[in-house]
Every structure is written in C-alpha cells, then in structure tokens.
Amino acid sequence: MRAVLKTEPAPGFDLVTDHREAGLAAGEVRVEVGAVSVCGTDRETYEFGPAVRDLGLRLPVVTGHECAGTVIEVAPDVATLRIGDRVAVETHVACGRCFQCDRGNAHNCLHMDLLGLTIDGAFAERVVLPASTCFRIPDELTLEAAALLEPAGSAMHALQRSGLDLAGAHVLVSGAGPIGLAALQIARAKGARVLVVEPNPHRAAMATGLGGTLVPAGEGLDERVRELTGPAEGVDLVLECSGALPALAAALEAARREGTVVTVGLTNRPLELSATRHLISRGLTLKGSFGRRIWESWTELAGLVASGSVDLSRLVSHRMELERVEEAIGLLTGSACKVVLYPQGVPAGANAPESTVSAS
C-alpha cells in the first residue's frame, strides 16, 4: 500500500507505494483511512526535532496520527467493533494494566505507545490498530470531522481539567492554532465569553469569525483584559495553547485572583514562577493537560459536534491527496490552519475556499 515513512534520523519523509501491511494480532482491527490531518507533531517528525525525540520516536515508522476511517477487518477475538463501523482513533495507545490505566488515566499510561511515533500510524491507505483505540462516531459526523476529534479533544480535555462551570465565565485562549480555535468554540458552546491572544493576522481573523474577542499580545494585554472582565480584574480561566513561554508568563498575569491556568502548548524551556506571587498570594491554580480522557473527552465533544454546537470544518484550510504530504507540512509554517490528507482521494466538492485539491 501507499504510506509515508520516517526512516532516517534526519529531515524528510519517504513516500512509498509498496509498503507491506501488518497482519492482525489479537485485539486488533484494520481501518481504511478516510481522512488524516496534519499537525505540529508531524512537522517535528519531518524535521526530526527534539520534541519527537523526547517522545520516543522509533525508526522506521509510518507517520501520521489524527485520523478516522472505516473498519475493514476484525481479529476473531474483537467483539466491540465490526466491519463497516466508522471510527475515530485515540492516538495514545494505553497498556490497560498499569497504575494510571487502573485509575482511569489511560491517556497518561505509564507504558504508552504513540501512533505515528512509536508504532505505525495513519499517513497510509490503511492502518492496523488495537480495537481499544477506536471510537465509534455518530452518523452526523463526516470522517473529516472525526479525524479532527483528536486535536479538538485535547481542547475539550483541557477545559474539563479546569473543573470550572463555564456558563458566564471569562476564558482567555492564548494561541489560535487548531487546538485554540477548537477550545474557543467549545468554551462558547458552554456559555463562556472568550478572549483570544493571537498575533498571526490570519488566525486572529479566524478567531474573531468564531466569536472570540481579540486582545493584544504583550504590552496592553493586562489592561484590556481587566477592562473586559470588570470587577473580577482578570479571567476565570486561561488556556495556554501556543507553547510560547512569554505567552504562558502573560497568562499567569491575565488570570484573576483564585483563577485557573491550564497549559496545553508544548515548550521545552523552563518557566520562572513565583510561588509567592502566583500560587500563594493570588491563589492561582496551574494545571497541565495531556491528550484526551478516554472516553469522557471524546463522548462530550462528539455530542457537541453532532449537534452543530461546534463546527470542526471551520478549522480546515486545505484538503489534499496523501502524496502531497511534504507540501502539507510546509503549509503549517504559513497561514494554514488544519490541512487534511485523503489517502483514498479528496472527495468531490470537499475543498474549502483556500484549498488546493489537485496535484496539477
């Protein structure tokens, strides 16, 4: 089959047409990949960056992970899925037996594999997966929307991790990339008023188009936030989605006393934190959020998407064939939002206004 592999500890991918497919082991299914979106982790994999090395990248590996498709083969011992089921895929492949899995934290399993990094992923025509990673999707969801449940699920999990009732709350989203834009939609669906920090003009326009209120990055942020939040003098919740260290420092200042900051964006640099100023005298709660809670985050998010309260298609800027994966990677450094690859070919009429869907 056609597949995109990472084979060398150097920049680049290998697109092959004759990759040998794995057989099914116990507990596994084979999924025909209908749609797979490209994310920053895929760019890091392409570049052989430090983040994926830290995550345990194993070579060679079929890359790609944010995917959805149709079950076409089922191991004899699998009773939870059948041929023809449409599924989205949880990319944190848990062992199911460790301390964290036993306590309902399988998304942070102690022996976790990562699709497209430590086991073969979904930049391919088909992928073999544990049935335990497959989430059956409602009929109302397209496979494209289902592929985006993985990144949007990270936003959902971060909001759930806050533990806050968002009805009437002020939420600041720092970074209007795909996760930030999904967080904006989810928070608004839950009744929050959402402020957004995003210096990129294209993504800032997307955020305002989705109902966010743009506030300035850097100088002027605190003053504008306090102007918009009134007596609270700060937001109830900050979601830091950019991974930029100055943005996280600013997030701590934008939160009100007794407010909450949840950090989602990845950074390898240390943060200077004043325990007295930030955690004690202001009573802030600082949390990290990793992945999606299985299956709590998926179930709630899928319901919001199925009802129309959250529209993940608004995040898609480009739709392309699998063979254009390197071009898709390059778009992530520009004004693209979500680039979706279609291993079976881009469906007729599926292109967004900004999309280029043919190879010509």
What would the pLDDT profile of 280-334 be if each residue is shown by its tens digit?
999 999 999 999 999 999 999 999 999 999 999 999 999 999 999 999 999 987 7
pLDDT of 353 > 60? The answer is: no
Residue 358 lies in a domain: no
Same domain, 174 and 67: no
pLDDT of 265 > 70? The answer is: yes
Residue with tokens 């469906």: 347
Q: What is the CATH number of the domain that holds 172?
A: 3.40.50.720
| pLDDT at residue 351 in the model | 63
Q: How far is CA 58 from CA 102, 115, 188, in A?
A: 27, 11, 39
Q: Terminus-to-terminus CA distance in the chain, angstroms?
A: 23
**Last residue within a domain, chosen from 254, 288, 322:** 288
**Last residue within a domain, chosen from 226, 255, 288:** 288
Residue 295 lies in a domain: no
Same domain, 49 and 170: no
pLDDT of 355 > 70? The answer is: no
Residue with tokens 């480009």: 318
pLDDT of 352 > 90? The answer is: no
Q: Round to whole Å and give the CA distance between 264 and 267.
A: 9
Residue 273 lies in a domain: yes
| pLDDT at residue 268 in the model | 67
pLDDT (mean) for 112-125: 97
pLDDT of 360 > 70? The answer is: no
Residue 80 lies in a domain: yes
Same domain, 193 and 94: no
Same domain, 234 and 317: no
Structure tokens, 247: 């943005």
pLDDT digits (tens, 9 = 90+) for 55-85: 899 999 999 999 999 999 999 999 999 999 9
| pLDDT at residue 356 in the model | 40
Among 37-41, 216-220, 238-242, 255-259, the minimum mean pLDDT is found in 216-220
Same domain, 131 and 208: no
Residue 58 lies in a domain: yes
Same domain, 109 and 170: no
Same domain, 164 and 42: no
Edge-to-edge strand order for the sheet containing 61-62?
14-16, 3-6, 61-62
| pLDDT at residue 274 in the model | 86
**Structural domains of the chain, count:** 2
Q: Round to whole Å and give the CA distance between 52 and 41.
A: 7
Same domain, 315 and 282: no
CA 186 from chain center: how many Å?
13
| pLDDT at residue 218 in the model | 84
In this structure, the chain runs to a length of 360
% of the chain residues with pLDDT over 90: 85
Domain that holds residue 250: 154-288
pLDDT of 99 > 70? The answer is: yes
Residue 144 lies in a domain: no
Residue 47 lies in a domain: yes
Q: What is the CATH number of the domain that holds 123?
A: 3.90.180.10
What is the per-residue DSSP string for 110-167? TT-EEBTTTB--SSBSEEEEEGGGEEEPPTTS-HHHHHTHHHHHHHHHHHHHHT---T
pLDDT of 349 > 80? The answer is: no
pLDDT digits (tens, 9 = 90+) for 120-166: 999 999 999 999 999 999 999 999 999 999 999 999 999 999 999 99
Cβ–Cβ < 8 Å for 51, 69: no
Taking the CA atoms of residue 49, residue 146, residue 325 and residue 174 in that order, the dihedral angle to the nearest 10 degrees is -40
Taking the CA atoms of residue 328, residue 333, residue 336 and residue 340 in that order, the dihedral angle to the nearest 10 degrees is 30
- DSSP count for the chain of H helices, then E strands: 11, 18
Residue 68: name the closest of 151, 186, 173 by CA: 151
Same domain, 223 and 284: yes
Same domain, 176 and 218: yes
pLDDT (mean) for 249-276: 88
Residue type at 256 in one-letter notation = R
Same domain, 159 and 262: yes
Residue type at 123 in one-letter notation = F
Task: Kindly report the average pLDDT of the chain as a whole number.
Answer: 94
Q: Round to whole Å and give the CA distance between 246 and 125.
A: 40
pTM: 0.93
Same domain, 30 and 95: yes
Residue 11 lies in a domain: yes
